[in-house]
Amino acid sequence: MADTEQITKEFIVSDPNELLQIVGTQDEFVTILEEGMDVSINVFGNSMRISGTEDLVKTTIHILENILSLIEKGISINSSDFISAINMAKNGTLEYFQDLYNQVLIKDAKGKAVRVKTFGQRQYVQAIRHHDVAFGIGPAGTGKTYLAVVMALAALKQGTVDKIVLTRPAVEAGESLGFLPGDLKEKVDPYLRPIYDALHAILGAEHTERLMDRGVIEIAPLAYMRGRTLDNAFVILDEAQNTTNMQMKMFLTRLGFGSKMIVNGDISQIDLPKRTTSGLVAAQKILKNIDQIEFVTFTAEDVVRHPVVAKIITAYENSGH
């Protein structure tokens, strides 16, 4: 059969430094391409010889052309860039790949440019920019929390908001958080670790602590949102699949003037007691026709982790577990 016939094509990279960036340390990027595209790649001198079925070889060369174009613009490449390119090639959205790199959202604590990495992330950032309330729904590893924090910090730097409020339901402790020993920070820190991780990655630990001490960044469990109106704030609700319907309504009605809200969650990871409807699942139905609210759904293709993680997620989805 013609479509299973194996072919070999060459991809020439004349600049040895650029070739080194494409191949990666100890050929790590070559391995990612081979696993992700089901091809074999051999590097000889300044040539990469790609073997596999015609379609896969052609697509791999398109990916390499796109990556090389970024390198020529001085953008440093890592494994997640290759994973994004592979996913976009498989989804037929590779033509948008270079667009992802046109805009720097913020610089992280090490001075590195933070950009969107997938087509889904691009849609998510657009939704946050153009709507008062944006929902990001999808599996772990799609960058929902990290990008929400990035957009919040960018808004703070630009002066479009005065403060950032980050919250998530402490579902494992239920509403009995008040009966736990220790101060509020000690009680809620384990639940809020991913938010701290994102803040530390972008601001560094010291800067994060300073802004928290000044009340510019506030991190609190969802129960502490009751009775407040949040004006000129960027408010993020994480792990929203573990809110009840009442909690979700309570949270969304905290929205004040000059504020933005982001609600993130993964409806495959609901930890609520049985027969309790997830506020996130309900919100998708109840709020779908409101203009100022946008829902963005991420899939396994938006997972910017090791290629095996996306395969694990897909395998579980297909098994019904």
pLDDT, tens digit, for every residue of 276-294?
999 999 999 999 999 999 9
| pLDDT grade for 184, boundaries at 50, 70 and 90 | low
DSSP one-letter string for 51-115: EEEHHHHHHHHHHHHHHHHHHHTT----HHHHHHHHHHHHHT-GGGTGGGGS---EE-TTSPEE-
CA distance 244 to 276: 7
113 and 15 in a common domain? no
pTM: 0.80
82 and 33 in a common domain? yes
Indicate if the pLDDT at residue 19 is higher than 70.
Answer: yes
| pLDDT grade for 224, boundaries at 50, 70 and 90 | confident
The CATH number that applies at residue 118 is 3.40.50.300
* Residue 304 CA, distance from chain mean position: 7
111 and 241 in a common domain? yes
The CATH number that applies at residue 10 is 3.30.1370.10
26 and 144 in a common domain? no
267 close to 137: Cβ distance less than 8 angstroms: yes
309 and 162 in a common domain? yes
| pLDDT grade for 3, boundaries at 50, 70 and 90 | low
For residue 20, the surrounding DSSP H or E stretch is helix 16-23
Indicate if the pLDDT at residue 179 is higher than 50.
Answer: no
Considering only CA atoms, give the Rg of the chain. 22
134 and 95 in a common domain? no
User: Mean pLDDT over residues 231-238, rounded?
Assistant: 96
Give residue 93's pLDDT. Answer: 87
178 and 89 in a common domain? no
Which tops the pLDDT comparison, 184 or 251? Answer: 251
Write out the residue range of the structural domain in which residue 17 sits.
Answer: 2-101
Over the stretch 194-211, which tens digit does the pLDDT of each residue have?
888 889 999 999 999 999
112 and 96 in a common domain? no
Over the stretch 260-269, which tens digit does the pLDDT of each residue have?
999 999 999 8
129 and 112 in a common domain? yes
Looking at the structure of the chain, the number of domains it has is 2
User: Mean pLDDT over residues 1-25, rounded?
Assistant: 88
